[in-house]
Structure 1
């Protein structure tokens, strides 16, 4: 009879299960009258029939959550998108935070992320120390820079560190604008620095800036960014980036990383006005998904 053996697998620590993560929308704050549970409507496009909790595989997921709170207007959105980078054996407690004066105005609020005691994570791989070269670091400490402080001399090295500082201070408008400009300038630089191995420096810059943020901070930003991209504000950001114009700096941070023999900064910066305009239009249209600026 195999039943005792099966039961023992749940009792003994030696029986290892596949690591998982969990979304939990059932633990809204009782002390907050404007905080409600959320139902899980869909995960990565797969319908979930309104469950409050769901085990998921570790990794990136697009989760559609619906508030259980009251909505007064039929036009109010009952469902929002929650981008989640789920780690092994972590429970993500999420809720719907409604506005105190306008119940139709709500956002997804992450209340907690904590370990699942019954889950066994995969064996940890030894961490490899990442050395950030000086050319991938800003010359001095960077604070959260407002859009008015950014121009086409601001390099992605500075921009990504500014974005991280803005996220930490919860100035998401400044963070999103900086992120938009950083992405545009990185893409533009990859077009004018054609040596692909040099492009890997961007990952080092991110590791030293926005990827240093906590998982909770990153998720809050991803949520705000997803809402931003789905709104009319994206058009405004596109127009702002077009106004700032194409980069007016030498992409030394990229040229110095795994350089190609014989490559010089002049080859990447001595571009004609027409070529710069063509590359920047491609950046706006192909990378940011913006309409091409009018001539």
Structure 2
């Protein structure tokens, strides 16, 4: 037992004094078309979750929680679609990291207001579903996610980082029906 405790102490001592380096691949979580606090009608299929979360954050800072939540739902749907088409599973956490980066520092009042707007929107998913369906499936290349995974350092398993034989229409249908829970 004493040896184990001494070993743990040694490891803590060594790591506490170690220089820790954070490596990021170029394009990791990168926004190429950032949006402001806009309505979902102003989005295009070229806006990735990295772009949309910037708008979500701006809406929160402008106290426009209804718009923030509508943008949030679209970023979740687009992010889920990207997890279906990006081959590197280690990259799939990109949307979670974006959410933490853009919404992780909300104060208590902002959190309560965001949650209230989320609950209100979730009670009327027809509005959310109509917005997502009207916008349509993403047409951007998901570089923000591909460059977030280990494949950005070790090499992608596929030429472009995307799933071979990916069916965009089926994946979009799966997102709408299985993830967002929109009816046909």
Would you call these one fold, judging by a TM-score over 0.5? yes
- Counterparts of 1:201 and 1:267 in 2: how far apart (Å)? 14
Superposed, 1:41-190 pairs within 5 Å as: 134-139=27-32, 142-190=35-83
Task: Provide, for residues 28-69 of structure 1, a one-character-per-residue CA deviation record: whole Å limited to 9, x for no partner.
Answer: xxxxxxxxxxxxxxxxxxxxxxxxxxxxxxxxxxxxxxxxxx
Going from structure 1 to structure 2, the CA distance change for 1:192 and 1:228 (only over 3 Å counts) comes to same
| TM, length-normalised to structure 2 | 0.75
Contact in 2 for aligned 1:162/1:175 (Cα 8 Å): yes
- Counterparts of 1:265 and 1:219 in 2: how far apart (Å)? 44
**Greater fraction of residues in helix:** 2
Per the TM alignment, residue 289 of structure 1 is displaced from its structure 2 partner at its CA by 1.0
Contact in 2 for aligned 1:184/1:284 (Cα 8 Å): yes
Contact in 2 for aligned 1:160/1:179 (Cα 8 Å): yes
Task: Provide, for residues 72-102 of structure 1, a one-character-per-residue CA deviation record: whole Å limited to 9, x for no partner.
Answer: xxxxxxxxxxxxxxxxxxxxxxxxxxxxxxx
2:98 is aligned with 1:210 = no
How many pairs align?
A: 162
Going from structure 1 to structure 2, the CA distance change for 1:153 and 1:140 (only over 3 Å counts) comes to closer
2:177 is aligned with 1:285 = yes
Partner-residue secondary structure (3-state), 1:268: coil
Per the TM alignment, residue 212 of structure 1 is displaced from its structure 2 partner at its CA by 2.5
Going from structure 1 to structure 2, the CA distance change for 1:142 and 1:236 (only over 3 Å counts) comes to closer
Contact in 1 for aligned 2:94/2:145 (Cα 8 Å): yes
1:245 is aligned to: 136
- Counterparts of 1:130 and 1:262 in 2: how far apart (Å)? 20
**Greater fraction of residues in strand:** 1
CA RMSD of aligned residues (A): 2.9
Going from structure 1 to structure 2, the CA distance change for 1:269 and 1:158 (only over 3 Å counts) comes to farther
Per the TM alignment, residue 199 of structure 1 is displaced from its structure 2 partner at its CA by 1.0
Name segments (4+ residues, structure 1) moved above 4 Å: 128-134, 139-142, 269-272
> Which ranges of structure 1 fall in alignment gaps of 5 or more residues?
1-127
Task: Provide, for residues 204-262 of structure 1, a one-character-per-residue CA deviation record: whole Å limited to 9, x for no partner.
Answer: 2222212122232122101111122113xx20220221111110011111111221633
Going from structure 1 to structure 2, the CA distance change for 1:140 and 1:213 (only over 3 Å counts) comes to farther
- Counterparts of 2:127 and 2:103 in 1: how far apart (Å)? 24
2:153 is aligned with 1:262 = no
Per the TM alignment, residue 148 of structure 1 is displaced from its structure 2 partner at its CA by 2.4
> Which ranges of structure 2 fall in alignment gaps of 5 or more residues?
1-19
- Counterparts of 2:126 and 2:159 in 1: how far apart (Å)? 33
Per the TM alignment, residue 195 of structure 1 is displaced from its structure 2 partner at its CA by 2.3
Per the TM alignment, residue 277 of structure 1 is displaced from its structure 2 partner at its CA by 1.1
- Counterparts of 2:23 and 2:54 in 1: how far apart (Å)? 17
